[in-house]
Chains A and B, each alone.
Chain A
């Protein structure tokens, strides 16, 4: 935890951003087990995009087809942690559905790996 008023930043690392306006200060994204490659897809993107705020609408439109959380973050150009909060909101409203890996720590089975191998060979 950081105590209030204790600013920590590093100018060399990149531009300063103010993400909390978007998420209204909420930074906890652990309502759902979302990681970088969790796939998400919008249920009726155009219908729902019309009734939500702009940042949510952009996410819904980016999720017309299944996308990883990382791809969504890149496409809407918002930091990962912020996108996770917004995606979680949309999941809660049932505008988005997601598929977590069966167990985030589990490796794919050998049959799946063989398919990956064959796929790379064919590239």
Chain B
């Protein structure tokens, strides 16, 4: 990964007028698309939707998931056999030992036919390969950012941009307040103008509900814009 700790913000470096702006994220777009096979199963009467909660190590992902989930966050593990490969790539190696990577997730039953799952992505870059499975079919993502370690969320922002997965950014204010304006954080992350960014506190349910609402609204707006473009119409009201 090209993101070193030297890019990180110094929490002690708040000196009024002389305050440094957050180190910017370098933008990069790699072309990559996945193909998935469709499969017809017997109908179970519910639609399951997946939202990802991403961000650096310890930024509050599990806290967020736990505060809005109707169940205590569950933990599922995947085997780590080889970087860049899932378990599928080890064939017939009986008794081979591997390590695991854990993901936390929660659930909101909207109604008996509609379930929303929230998955916290593994906070460490070396568990990258899990993101492909996590991201497949995801409605969108919440990226949590901590301005004391802003660069920790750069890989997540890059990933969702590259995969064209709609996302919103929540700036988790650990100190109750934080030294940068939303505009400064937005600039440091090189966010596209339409990506919502807001201050949040992952410990508070209302704050997390607001982030989720913002995300779904953002996805809907994105879909409407795409539909309008496809039919040659302009979306009403900008």
Interface residues of A (CB under 8 A from B): 1-2, 4, 7-11, 13-21, 24-30, 32-33, 35-41, 66, 68, 70-71, 73-75, 79-82, 97-108, 110, 112-121, 123
13 pairs from A and B in contact (CB 8 Å cutoff): A14-B101, A17-B79, A33-B39, A33-B41, A36-B50, A37-B50, A70-B103, A80-B79, A81-B79, A81-B88, A108-B47, A120-B108, A120-B213
* Contact of B195 with A by CB under 8 A: no
Whether B99 and A107, one on each chain, are in contact in the complex, defined by CB atoms closer than 8 angstroms, is no
Binary flags per residue of B82-117, CB closer than 8 Å to A gives 1, else 0: 110011111111111111111101011011001111
Whether A36 and B119, one on each chain, are in contact in the complex, defined by CB atoms closer than 8 angstroms, is yes
Interface residues of B (CB under 8 A from A): 34-44, 46-50, 68, 74-83, 86-103, 105, 107-108, 110-111, 114-117, 119, 126-127, 133-134, 136-137, 139, 205, 209, 212-213, 216-217, 219-220, 223-224
Residue of B nearest to A112 (CB): B47
**Which DSSP category, helix, strand, loop or mixed, fits chain B's interface?**
mixed
Whether A116 and B116, one on each chain, are in contact in the complex, defined by CB atoms closer than 8 angstroms, is yes
Decide: A28 near B96, CB < 8 A? Known: A35-B133, A104-B36, A115-B110. Answer: no
A8-B98, A108-B49 given; 9 more Cβ-contact pairs under 8 Å: A15-B100, A18-B95, A74-B75, A97-B41, A99-B44, A99-B46, A105-B34, A105-B136, A115-B114
Cβ 8 A contact of A14, one of B44, B96, B99, B212 = B99
Nearest CB in chain B: distance from A123 CB, A: 6
What chain B residues lie within 8 Å of A17 (beta carbons)? 79, 97-100
Whether A25 and B88, one on each chain, are in contact in the complex, defined by CB atoms closer than 8 angstroms, is no
- Complex Cα spacing A29 to B73, Å: 25
What chain B residues lie within 8 Å of A116 (beta carbons)? 49, 110, 114, 116, 139, 216
What chain A residues lie within 8 Å of B91 (beta carbons)? 1, 27-28
Cβ 8 A contact of A79, one of B68, B89, B100, B111 = B100
Whether A105 and B88, one on each chain, are in contact in the complex, defined by CB atoms closer than 8 angstroms, is no
- Complex Cα spacing A82 to B209, Å: 34
Nearest CB in chain B: distance from A46 CB, A: 19
Decide: A80 near B78, CB < 8 A? Known: A1-B89, A14-B99, A36-B119. Answer: yes
Whether B99 and A80, one on each chain, are in contact in the complex, defined by CB atoms closer than 8 angstroms, is no
Nearest CB in chain B: distance from A83 CB, A: 8
- Complex Cα spacing A25 to B95, Å: 7
Query: Which 7 pairs from chain A and chain B are nearest by CB?
Result: A81-B87, A119-B110, A33-B39, A74-B74, A99-B44, A13-B99, A37-B48
Decide: A121 near B213, CB < 8 A? Known: A80-B76, A107-B219. Answer: yes
Whether B209 and A120, one on each chain, are in contact in the complex, defined by CB atoms closer than 8 angstroms, is yes
What chain A residues lie within 8 Å of B46 (beta carbons)? 39, 66, 99
What chain B residues lie within 8 Å of A36 (beta carbons)? 50, 76, 105, 117, 119, 133-134
Nearest CB in chain B: distance from A20 CB, A: 5
Cβ 8 A contact of A70, one of B68, B105, B114 = B105
Residue of B nearest to A85 (CB): B87
What chain B residues lie within 8 Å of A1 (beta carbons)? 89, 91
What chain B residues lie within 8 Å of A19 (beta carbons)? 79, 87, 98
Nearest CB in chain B: distance from A78 CB, A: 8
Decide: A104 near B76, CB < 8 A? Known: A25-B92, A117-B216, A123-B209. Answer: no
- Complex Cα spacing A75 to B100, Å: 16
